[in-house]
Amino acid sequence: MSGEKRPTTFGELEPSKYPGERLGLPNQGPRSIARVGRRFAALCIDWAIASAVLLPFGLPLGTLWTHVAFGVLQIIFIPTLSGSLGHRIMGLHLVRLGAGGWIGFWKPVVRTLLLMLVVPALVWDSDQRGFHDKVAGTVLIRTRA
């Protein structure tokens, strides 16, 4: 047995060399952590789709209705497509951390409710996972280079 001291708290962990390293994910390419640019583009696409859904109903855009439409679309498409429409267009995929397989229904609901609060999405860890993903036990990864 070596005299090497193992970390016992998060503050004692060595810094990651890249986002996703601690999760066993590659640095680049498919299955790597989705980076900020793609995430932001996916969010803009999803917001535009939510706004477009409201147009035929004559509901005002940029209000609580847009927020609700955004949330409903997230809750519908994350369990069925493993990501929102914006995620899929940008080559992203939402998966359960460590387990793989179907993400289920409740994880997307919890994740979406936290995402709609905005602040949890702005609080990230060193793996670039927002608080909403940490609580839901999910990770947003790339499906293509």
Model pLDDT for residues 112-122, shown as the tens digit of each residue: 999 998 877 88
Kindly state whether residue 6 falls inside one of the protein's structural domains. no
For residues 18-43, average pLDDT: 93
pLDDT at 7: 53
Kindly state whether residue 85 falls inside one of the protein's structural domains. yes
Which two three-digit tokens encode residue 22? 């601690």
Higher pLDDT, 144 or 9: 144
Kindly state whether residue 31 falls inside one of the protein's structural domains. yes
**How many helical (H) and strand (E) elements, i.e. helices and strands, does the chain have?**
6, 2
Q: Is the pLDDT of residue 84 over 70?
A: yes
pLDDT at 11: 58
For residue 139, the cross-strand partners are: 95
Q: Is the pLDDT of residue 5 over 70?
A: no
At 110 the three-state DSSP class reads: helix
CA distance 111 to 33: 17
Q: What is the pTM of this model?
A: 0.85
Which two three-digit tokens encode residue 133? 């993903």
Kindly state whether residue 8 falls inside one of the protein's structural domains. no
Kindly state whether residue 12 falls inside one of the protein's structural domains. no
Whether the CB-CB separation of 113 and 135 falls below 8 Å is answered with no
Kindly state whether residue 1 falls inside one of the protein's structural domains. no
For residues 86-105, average pLDDT: 88
Number of domains in the chain: 1
Q: Is the pLDDT of residue 92 over 70?
A: yes
Kindly state whether residue 50 falls inside one of the protein's structural domains. yes
What average pLDDT does the chain have?
88
Q: Which domain holds residue 35?
A: 21-142
CA distance 140 to 93: 6
CA distance 100 to 31: 12
Which two three-digit tokens encode residue 26? 């590659």
Kindly state whether residue 118 falls inside one of the protein's structural domains. yes
